[in-house]
């Protein structure tokens, strides 16, 4: 659906050339929710703006649904943009128009007749759950409601692609959840391809099918969300994964346990998809004669299955502990040993 | 009682003077509003980083605006006499004051328009571009409606300055309350007529301010 090939983007500034993007290759399949995650300044904002040509690439090709974006005439580009909806961190609604008229705005631009516009606006207000607020002005709406207007507006011309530029970053956690649910809902109902950029791994975990990690203008890691969570390769990816699989409080707890039992083995198990649903631990206990102490656990749902982590304290004879770890690994669980048992002093 | 307070007032004259002042103000406000928005838009869209970025046009318009904004109004009227003679055919009367009034205030208003447009959130313009809006649609559907409260409060300020300009124009024969205060009041030593003219000018100014404030408030949905 969307193909980026060899994308580079430089900016000229007073102090010289700044490389925002250093060669990006990316492919997004139809109907997928594709997340791009990176810290601020990594180039993700530039990346998403290239897809609808709000920024022009310095090098490389962008293909959206078969049309080569950089070669389009101005008129053809405007028509292509009507097929690509976009929502923004700060909503970017027209404050001089009420909810209805904000949603009708892209339809007016596309020259849709008044009657048809009214019908479509009604349908969209229902889709995003804003019934009863049609005549409110943006200043009278909450952040979540504003983003709902933004989403309705982005969907007005029945686009095939929706670009989300940090769409939930200005919202509180509860509202974020609701907006993410709405995005999944429209992805499924309308078969829309969604590309979103964010700095919150939580957003990726909750709604994305595919993820790309961007750092310093290049994609350092890419893949199925579950795979990336199960075995992140790069340090930056591990940092992002940590955002959702462990909170600082449990890190503290593990630290304390390490001090209390300096001679035990402590391992973090990451279950993803199929493995999360199997009784791995009970099988382990039947198999190996060791003691298992559960230190910390966490289970969450992604679009492609469950994702869980367990931090265990394994106590027993060294070879048996080793066997136990091998056994767990063979069940398709990723094991990271945080602390190795020290040799018993005897 | 009024006869005692203002013994030299000729009420028919005063009434005619009020009408002349209102006529000059109304026509020049409307013309300034249109011309100022055109110039202000031109300044905004040709400025660096905007839709029709064009250094040459920007610099030219900017220079013209600055020059006409800097010439003291009373001198501008005199400088414009040949121009006025060509388009109006006379240099006396209310209509003859209009070219100078409009040329004197449109550049001032143009700057206010430019400032108002610059206040618009760039993200909103970007959103419109992302929807496939062309440049005219952005001007008509985004730039003008989103800046309308500031455009209206700007024209309120400008129209009050314009009432002052009509009085100055009055001193060299444009008619209206300025002429009344200067010719009948100052030159004939009728202080009561000067005072009366001042009172009516103040009333006009207050009414303009009230209308402007009301409209700005109505338009502003932020």
Edge-first strand order for the sheet with A67-68 is: A16-28, A2-13, A59-64, A67-68
How far does the CA of residue A278 sit from the closest CA of chain B (Å)?
47
Q: CATH fold of A246-339, please?
A: Alpha-Beta Plaits (3.30.70)
The pLDDT value recorded for residue A248 is 66
The pLDDT value recorded for residue A131 is 93
Residue-wise burial string across A111-150, b where 16 or more C-beta atoms lie within 10 A, e elsewhere:
ebeeeebeebbeebbebbebeebeebbbeebebbbbbbbb
Tens of pLDDT along chain A (346 residues) come to 899 999 999 988 888 888 889 999 999 999 999 999 999 888 899 999 999 999 999 999 999 998 899 899 999 999 999 999 999 999 999 999 999 999 999 999 999 999 999 999 999 999 999 999 999 999 999 999 999 999 999 999 999 999 999 999 999 999 999 999 999 999 999 999 999 999 999 999 999 999 999 999 999 999 999 888 888 899 999 888 888 876 667 777 777 877 777 778 888 888 887 777 778 888 888 888 888 888 878 888 888 888 888 888 888 888 888 888 888 888 888 888 877 776 544 4
Other CB atoms within 10 Å distance of the CB of residue B95: 18
Question: Would you list the DSSP string of B110-141?
Answer: HHHHHHHHHTS-HHHHHHHHHTT--HHHIIII
The pLDDT value recorded for residue A346 is 44
Other CB atoms within 10 Å distance of the CB of residue A105: 24
The pLDDT value recorded for residue B161 is 95
Q: Report whether pLDDT(B58) > 90.
A: yes
How far does the CA of residue A69 sit from the closest CA of chain B (Å)?
13
Domains of chain B plus CATH, in order, are 11-121+147-219 (1.10.3720.10)
Q: Report whether pLDDT(B69) > 80.
A: yes
CA distances from B32 to A87, B104, B111, B140, B193 (A): 38, 9, 12, 19, 30
Give the phi and the psi of residue A199 in degrees, each rounded to 5. Answer: -115, 5
The pLDDT value recorded for residue A342 is 63
Q: Report whether pLDDT(B21) > 60.
A: yes
Helix and strand tally (H, E) in chain A? 12, 14
**Contact state of B148 with A92 under an 8 Å Cβ cutoff:** no
Place of tokens 């013994």: B7
| All structural domains of chain A with their residue ranges | 2-243, 246-339
A131 Cβ contact list (under 8 Å, min separation 6): A125
Classify A342 as helix, strand or coil: coil
The pLDDT value recorded for residue A165 is 95
pLDDT single digits (tens) B194-218: 999 999 999 999 999 999 999 999 9
Q: Which CATH architecture has domain A2-243?
A: 3-Layer(aba) Sandwich (3.40)
| Preferred mutation among B132, B134, B136, B222 to probe A, highest tally of A CBs within 10 A | B132
CB A198 within 8 A of CB A168: yes
A36 Cβ contact list (under 8 Å, min separation 6): A44, A47, A48, A195, A196, A197, A198, A211, A212, A213, A214
Q: Per mean pLDDT, which range of A272-281, A313-322, B68-77, B139-148 is the poorest? A: A272-281
Torsion of CA A185, A191, A193, A196, to 10 degrees: 0
CB A213 within 8 A of CB A221: yes
Reported as half-sphere exposure (CB side, CA atoms, 13 A), residue A42 has a value of 19
Other CB atoms within 10 Å distance of the CB of residue A38: 23
The answer to whether B145 contacts chain A (CB < 8 Å) is yes
| Preferred mutation among B51, B117, B122, B130 to probe A, highest tally of A CBs within 10 A | B130
Question: Would you list the DSSP string of A103-125?
Answer: HHHHHHHTT--HHHHHHHHHHHH
B152 vs A303, more confident: B152
**Contact state of A88 with B123 under an 8 Å Cβ cutoff:** yes
The answer to whether B129 contacts chain A (CB < 8 Å) is yes
Q: Select the residue of A77, A96, A106 nearest B131 (Cβ to Cβ).
A: A106
């Amino acid at each position: 659906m969307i193909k980026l090939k060899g994308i580079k983007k430089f900016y000229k500034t007073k102090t010289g050339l700044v490389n925002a993007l250093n060669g990006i290759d990316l492919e997004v399949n139809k109907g997928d929710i594709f997340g791009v995650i990176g810290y601020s300044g990594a180039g993700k904002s530039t990346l998403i703006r290239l897809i609808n040509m709000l920024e022009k690439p310095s090098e490389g090709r962008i293909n959206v649904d078969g049309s080569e974006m950089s070669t389009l005439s101005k008129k053809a580009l405007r028509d292509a943009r009507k097929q690509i909806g976009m929502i923004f961190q700060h909503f970017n609604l027209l404050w001089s128009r009420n909810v209805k008229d904000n949603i009708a705005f892209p339809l007016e631009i596309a020259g849709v007749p008044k009657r048809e516009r009214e019908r479509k606006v009604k349908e969209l207000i229902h889709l995003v759950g804003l019934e009863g607020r049609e005549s409110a002005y943006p200043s009278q709406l909450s952040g979540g409601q504003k983003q709902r207007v933004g989403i309705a507006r982005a969907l007005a011309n029945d686009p095939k692609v929706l670009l989300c530029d940090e769409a939930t970053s200005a919202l509180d956690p509860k509202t974020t959840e609701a907006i993410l649910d709405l995005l999944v809902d429209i992805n499924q109902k309308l078969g829309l391809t969604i590309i979103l950029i964010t700095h919150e791994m939580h957003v990726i975990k909750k709604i994305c099918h595919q993820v790309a990690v961007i750092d310093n203008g290049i994609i350092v890691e890419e893949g199925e969300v579950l795979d990336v969570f199960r075995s992140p390769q790069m340090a930056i990816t591990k940092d992002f994964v940590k955002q959702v699989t462990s909170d600082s409080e449990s890190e503290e707890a593990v630290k304390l346990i390490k001090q209390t039992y300096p001679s035990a083995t402590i391992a973090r198990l990451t279950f993803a998809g199929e493995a999360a649903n199997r009784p791995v631990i009970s099988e382990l206990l039947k198999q190996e004669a060791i003691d298992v102490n559960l230190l910390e656990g966490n289970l969450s749902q992604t679009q492609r299955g469950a994702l869980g982590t367990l931090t265990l304290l394994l106590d027993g004879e060294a070879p048996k502990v080793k066997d136990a770890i091998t056994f767990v690994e063979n069940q398709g669980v990723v094991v990271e040993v945080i602390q190795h048992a020290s040799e018993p002093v005897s | 009682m009024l006869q005692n307070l203002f013994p030299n007032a000729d009420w028919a004259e005063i009434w005619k003077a009020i009408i002349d002042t209102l006529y000059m103000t109304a026509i020049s406000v409307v013309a300034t509003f249109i011309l100022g928005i055109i110039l202000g838009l031109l300044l905004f869209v040709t400025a660096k980083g905007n839709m029709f970025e064009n250094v040459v046009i920007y610099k030219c318009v900017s220079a013209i605006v600055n020059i006409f904004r800097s010439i003291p109004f009373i001198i501008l009227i005199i400088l414009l006499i040949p121009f006025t003679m060509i388009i109006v055919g006379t240099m006396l009367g209310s209509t003859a004051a209009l070219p100078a009034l409009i040329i004197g205030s449109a550049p001032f208003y143009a700057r206010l328009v430019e400032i108002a447009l610059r206040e618009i959130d760039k993200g909103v313009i970007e959103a419109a571009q992302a929807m496939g809006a062309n440049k005219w649609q952005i001007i008509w559907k985004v730039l003008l409606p989103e800046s309308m409260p500031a455009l209206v409060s700007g024209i309120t300020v400008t129209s009050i300055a314009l009432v002052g300009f009509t009085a100055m124009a009055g001193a060299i024969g444009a008619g209206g309350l300025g002429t009344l205060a200067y010719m009948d009041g100052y030159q004939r030593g009728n202080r009561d007529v000067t005072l009366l003219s001042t009172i009516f000018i103040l009333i006009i100014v207050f009414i303009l301010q009230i209308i402007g404030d009301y409209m700005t408030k109505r338009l502003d949905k932020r």
